[in-house]
Structure 1
């Protein structure tokens, strides 16, 4: 059996894919929209040394395996593939026989784009390293991928044909309305990214807004944008750990895409710290990616841990709601926006494809390939309900008074 046929048997003969290999072999559907090309024996070494998702990712990221065609289509075609979980023993034996075991196990270095974080998990130092790995890539690169909003979280689509920019504006405005923002209030936005929520609250609601982020490049970009927008009297973004914010008495706290970086062990203290930043009657809006239930492990592993979000953890929605309830808050509203995140990622994938040559020049081909793979994979994950996006609105009670409307106003 030749290499292309071996890989086809691992992926599944029913998959609408074409396979080619460096030995000249070809298999699969020659009219398929996607072709998987094994370009080097190193691709097989990656698959052998880290069978499953991680080995496949290393082969693609290093370019020893290529995917020609739409990445999302490729991943959707391989969604039930055995090769993304574990190389079957029979297939592994065929590869070993074909190449010789010594060449198959030829040691290959870990790609330079793999994360290398040090110290105690979720310590301030290690969290800083983990955030820098993903967010301190290049502001220009993110401008191409995210578009003018520079919002790197799930958008909210007011209609099926709304643009990505409309949907990001709608997301920020939904958060503002859930928090009941009014002129003169004070907002703390933890994990604020490039300051989109901070600037929205200041510009459209007259709120004094403070954002904090562990990414130095994000903070620098946001402060420049705030000044250019004439919002410096109301808005500020600091390069700062949320645990080190000295101020208190805020009217509202938004956390949009931070909880994924906190970890299950630290979740109660995280919630209590946000509770302590609020005045009585103040509201918290927590927006984050979750597991679809509370039955799976929380730690993100494999490709996503090594390349995308080091030390990331995804909790079940019930776990998060219970932690918020049990640490000083009363939960008042919750909703799942997973379909909206799939649409958001579709927009980001298109943006990356449209700017592929510039992105490769800016951050290097390995890193651009990481983003292409992870965003398409995430889109698929939301579509098939492997992951979800939940917004939870809670209030720090004023005695027994929630100061909430009888029915939602948003």
Structure 2
């Protein structure tokens, strides 16, 4: 059966996507603004051996399949076989249509894919050495590459857009300031920022609030970049970023703890110990701001071990619902004081990152290689679709460690209302 015919059966005739293949077959309207090109039998082997999002990702990342047109629009139209993946029945039908030959081809995954066997050799899920390798896989790509994608803020977390047309830098500043205000930061306080990335929150707290801030990250490249940025700002007396596991922080008695984009890497089984650890780092009346991606409900899988995101982007990543996270925090002694969902803000943040990658595409490919650049293009565009369609959310939860008399120290209303 011609590849174009199979494609049309899976995607449907109304998707408005052109299709072309090395066997000469074509499908879809000639005037379509999007086209998918299967360039070799290797692409077909990837699709046959892993039908759905993983096979498509392997074929695209390896260069055996090309996308002509906007990646986000393509993934949005192909929702059922990309972000949402195929049903089991659809996968079986697709494999049968492709035939036996592609199933027998030996085609190793692209080198950008993190093998489960590699992780398994480093210990159980979320053991320290294994976590370090998972973080290294994603974050130690290239500081120059991240600078092109993230912009000057080097903030690799959801921004908070004050206005619809705010710039990415304005929105990232607003996010850090929102966290600072929720934490009630004041001059002379001490802040611990776990999973601090390139030090954005640490620098913001020290520079704009006079806070003595300590950040920790498992990425050596991030720590080196952050320490240089701190020195460039002349903040060495207030700010520090260490290359270390958050579990190895010995200091205690912090006035505030921020966790911005780390919880997703902790793992469900370890989250009680994680929140207990952060609780122990706070002085009575101290506040925790937990900012992380979540599942929309408690019914979905916590992680998809065989999916594109887990294999190419965030190895061992796990998402929980915000309700589950809040219950764990409460059971450990935290009082929840505020919660909000920034889902739409993350979709906007990702659009800016995609635009930045497009604008610096040639330089990015030269820096990290075509395969890695394609991983990022696919991952970020797919995440926009996921946030827009409420497959994933982004929640900020503010919690406080009460003093011995049950006092929170939180004012009746914030001095400046949170947006």
Instruction: Provide TM-score, normalisation by structure 2.
Output: 0.95
In structure 2, the residue matched to 1:22 is: 22
In structure 2, the residue matched to 1:207 is: 211
> Within the alignment, does 1:349 sit opposite 2:354 as a pair?
yes
> Within the alignment, does 1:169 sit opposite 2:168 as a pair?
no
Residue 80 of structure 1: SS of its match in structure 2? helix
Residue 331 of structure 1: SS of its match in structure 2? strand
Q: d(CA) in 2 for partners of 1:33 and 1:73?
A: 9
How many equivalent residue pairs? 406
In structure 2, the residue matched to 1:95 is: 98
Match of 1:360 among 361, 365, 372: 365
In structure 2, the residue matched to 1:303 is: 308
Q: CA deviation at 1:25?
A: 1.5
Q: CA deviation at 1:103?
A: 4.3
In structure 2, the residue matched to 1:272 is: 276
Q: d(CA) in 1 for partners of 2:76 and 2:154?
A: 27
Superposition pairs of residues 263-342 of structure 1, within 5 angstroms:
263-301=267-305, 302-342=307-347
Matched-pair contact (CA < 8 Å) for 1:12–1:81: no
Q: d(CA) in 2 for partners of 1:20 and 1:295?
A: 38
Matched-pair contact (CA < 8 Å) for 1:42–1:108: yes
Q: d(CA) in 2 for partners of 1:274 and 1:314?
A: 19
Matched-pair contact (CA < 8 Å) for 2:48–2:98: no
Superposition pairs of residues 108-127 of structure 1, within 5 angstroms:
108-115=107-114, 116-117=118-119, 118-127=122-131
Q: d(CA) in 2 for partners of 1:135 and 1:359?
A: 15
| Structure 1 outlier segments of 4+, above 6 Å | none
Where in structure 1 are there 5+ consecutive unaligned residues?
none
Residue 369 of structure 1: SS of its match in structure 2? helix
Q: CA deviation at 1:105?
A: 2.5
Superposition pairs of residues 7-406 of structure 1, within 5 angstroms:
7-81=7-81, 84-86=85-87, 87-96=90-99, 101-115=100-114, 116-117=118-119, 118-301=122-305, 302-399=307-404, 400-406=406-412
Q: CA deviation at 1:102?
A: 2.9
Q: CA deviation at 1:375?
A: 0.3
CA RMSD of aligned residues (A): 1.3
Q: CA deviation at 1:363?
A: 0.5
Matched-pair contact (CA < 8 Å) for 1:34–1:74: yes
Residue 325 of structure 2: SS of its match in structure 1? helix
Q: d(CA) in 2 for partners of 1:385 and 1:194?
A: 28
Instruction: Provide TM-score, normalisation by structure 1.
Output: 0.97
Residue 364 of structure 2: SS of its match in structure 1? helix
- Larger deviation, residues 226-235 vs 81-90: 81-90
Q: d(CA) in 2 for partners of 1:41 and 1:164?
A: 41
Q: 1:89 to 1:279 in 2, by over 3 A?
A: closer
Residue 379 of structure 2: SS of its match in structure 1? helix
Q: CA deviation at 1:88?
A: 4.3
